[in-house]
Amino acid sequence: MNILEDLQYAVIGKFSYGWPELEELRTTLPHQCNIKGECKIGFLRNWHILIRLDQHTDFINLMSKSIYYIMAKDGYSYSMRPLIYNAKFKVDEETTKAMA
């Protein structure tokens, strides 16, 4: 199901204290998170963005760190935690992360 919806390598980025504008995220996040393939970014819900990757290695590399500090043009550093996306993802619950 996730393959058909282009969500096979989907990651949710959770921002705790605000986030940069969406257009700025689309340009800075792939560079700062060392994403080599195609990366589509959109808002999901309240403090969450949906990051769709097309390469397995980018997915593994993005999920390998527990937190990223995204430096914005306004000079602020926004903390983003990557979470694994699945169909049962709930915004109001903290999800644990385990990769095998």
Residue 100 lies in a domain: no
Under the banding of pLDDT at 50, 70 and 90, the label for residue 91 is low
* CA–CA distance, 81 with 29 (Å, rounded to integer): 12
Q: How far from chain centre, in Å, is Cα 34?
A: 12
Q: How much is the pTM?
A: 0.81
pLDDT at 71: 92
- Give the residue from 95, 85, 90 showing the smallest Cα distance to 51: 85
Q: What CATH number corresponds to the domain at position 45?
A: 3.30.70
Does any domain span residue 99? no
Q: Which amino acid is at 93?
A: E
Range of the domain at 68: 10-84
The answer as to whether 36 is a domain residue is: yes
Whether 4 maps to a domain, the answer reads no
- Asked if pLDDT for residue 86 goes beyond 90, the answer is no
**Residue 62 DSSP code:** H
Q: What is the pLDDT of residues 66-85, one digit of tens each?
A: 999 999 888 899 999 998 87
Q: Residue 37: its pLDDT value, please?
A: 93
Residue 88: per-residue pLDDT: 63
pLDDT digits (tens, 9 = 90+) for 13-63: 999 888 888 999 999 999 999 999 999 999 988 789 999 999 999 999 999
Q: Identify whether 91 is part of a domain.
A: no
Number of structural domains found in the chain: 1
